């Protein structure tokens, strides 16, 4: 069996492949480019889970990058346990057909507590004094020492956020090369996140110099990894979870719900903190989708009031409730009681405070 490198360059679209990505353009010209019809929601955790299970979110349960954990009455994003994902994984199907099949998962999400053979994922060290130190979690555990010795500590703060740079994608690409050498997995999953953040930060306009530089940077890293893999007998497939499109307005669902008397906050050291346990309704916003959760036992009349409030907000393209969420592939208990989608030129913020002086600490 010829091994496969499945390379996820998030945010990459065919429109971006060209002058500023010569190596990716050459790779595309040697094979074929196909449009990947995405799911709702087209966000990292959901799309990766669908790619690796072949299922819709209402089947694998990953309804977004985060959701309300109803038993805890808490919203959690970016959890890491693979046990949250339902359904057979791609590598499990491979093992059914070939007992010698192996998989290395490098930085695709839900990487921990998983059935793949080898893996690496971000995992900071939290110190008692509040410090957050860069590090990663690996399988086997001792592989972390080899990666750190060869590549230095995983550059966590370059992975996402204002300090995002090519450094984290370059580190992951080099770790992928080591995975080929150390394990030669049948399937190597590698995730290069760099392009995504700059497309969100600056917009998808190729006229922006930062976007052009980001394309050149990811082209160099991905092109080098692709060449390395092919030299070692790997087939290579490049995928992307979604594309970034321009928007011109933010829609603050939670502010509307608060003004309608449906959302509650608590006060902490001069800041306002969302209190899910006491809200009649609140939205977990994630780009252009929002899961809107109701207080258990709220009643049909109040639920209708929430739906009416949501539909009246400018920028909301549609609202789906209960079993109707199945039209989006999201009829799952983790999804909101209502699912709202934004209009094409709009995105949903999570902001619920009405005075910026009372905003929570967002550092």
Please, which pLDDT band fits residue 189 given cuts at 50, 70 and 90?
Answer: very high
- The residue with greater pLDDT, 105 or 362, is 105
Confidence of residue 1 (pLDDT cuts 50, 70, 90): confident
The b/e string for 108-133 (b: 16+ C-beta within 10 A; e otherwise) is bbbbeebebbbbbbbbeeeeeeeeee
Quote the CA–CA distance of 211 and 110 in Å, as a whole number. Answer: 29
Predicted pLDDT of residue 161: 84
Residue 271 has pLDDT above 80, yes or no: yes
- Is there a cis peptide before residue 8, judged by omega within 30 degrees of 0? no
Instruction: Report the pLDDT value the prediction gives residue 111, as an integer from 0 to 100.
Output: 98
* Mean pLDDT along residues 42-55: 98
**pLDDT digit string, tens, across residues 130-165:** 899 999 999 999 999 999 999 999 999 999 888 899
Asked whether the beta carbons of 317 and 342 are under 8 A apart, the reply is: yes
Does pLDDT of 363 surpass 90?
A: no
Residues 6+ apart with CB under 8 A from 351: 252, 254, 255, 359
Residue indicated by tokens 């360059």: 9
Residues 6+ apart with CB under 8 A from 152: 171
Task: Give residue 300's pLDDT band: very low, low, confident or very high (50, 70, 90).
Answer: very high
**Across 166-315, where does the E strand assignment appear?**
187-192, 235-239, 249-251, 265-268, 271-274, 281-286, 289-294
Average model confidence (pLDDT) across the chain: 96
* 310-359 confidence digits (pLDDT tens): 999 999 999 999 999 999 999 999 999 999 999 999 999 999 999 999 99
What domains lie within the chain, and their CATH numbers? 4-239 (3.40.720.10), 249-358 (3.30.1360)
Structure tokens at 94: 């491979």
Reported as half-sphere exposure (CB side, CA atoms, 13 A), residue 101 has a value of: 16
Is pLDDT at 362 greater than 80 in this prediction?
no
């Amino acid at each position: 069996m010829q091994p496969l490198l499945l390379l996820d360059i998030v945010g990459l679209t065919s429109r971006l492949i060209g002058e500023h990505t010569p190596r990716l353009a050459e790779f595309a010209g040697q094979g074929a480019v196909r449009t990947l019809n995405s799911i709702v929601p087209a966000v990292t955790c959901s799309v990766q889970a669908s790619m690796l299970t072949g299922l819709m979110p209402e089947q694998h349960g990953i309804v977004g990058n985060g959701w309300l954990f109803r038993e805890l009455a808490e919203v959690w994003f970016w959890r890491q346990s693979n046990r949250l994902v339902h359904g057979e994984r791609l590598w499990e199907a491979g093992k059914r057909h070939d007992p010698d099949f192996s998989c290395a998962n490098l930085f695709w999400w839900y990487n921990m507590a998983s059935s793949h053979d080898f893996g690496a994922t971000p995992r900071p060290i939290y110190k008692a004094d509040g410090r957050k130190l860069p590090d990663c979690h690996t399988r086997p555990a001792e592989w972390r020492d080899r990666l750190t010795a060869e590549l230095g500590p995983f550059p966590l703060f370059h992975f996402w956020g204002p300090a995002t740079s090519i450094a984290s994608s370059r580190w992951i690409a080099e770790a992928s090369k080591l995975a080929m050498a150390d394990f030669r997995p049948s399937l190597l999953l590698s995730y290069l996140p760099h392009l995504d953040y700059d497309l969100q930060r600056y917009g998808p306009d190729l006229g922006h110099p930062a976007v052009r530089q980001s394309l050149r940077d990811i082209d160099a890293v991905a092109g080098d990894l692709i060449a390395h893999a092919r030299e070692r007998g790997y087939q290579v497939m490049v995928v992307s979870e979604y594309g970034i499109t321009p928007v011109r307005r933010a829609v603050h669902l939670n502010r509307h719900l608060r003004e309608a008397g449906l959302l509650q906050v608590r006060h902490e050291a001069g800041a306002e903190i969302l209190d899910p346990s006491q809200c009649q309704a609140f939205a977990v916003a994630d780009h252009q989708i929002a899961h809107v959760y109701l207080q258990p036992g709220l009643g049909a009349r109040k639920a209708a009031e929430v739906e009416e409030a949501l539909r009246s907000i400018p920028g909301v393209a549609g609202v789906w409730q209960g079993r109707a969420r199945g039209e989006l592939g999201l009829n799952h208990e983790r999804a909101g009681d209502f699912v709202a989608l934004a209009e094409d030129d709009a995105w949903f913020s999570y902001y619920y405070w009405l005075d910026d002086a009372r905003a929570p600490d967002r550092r």
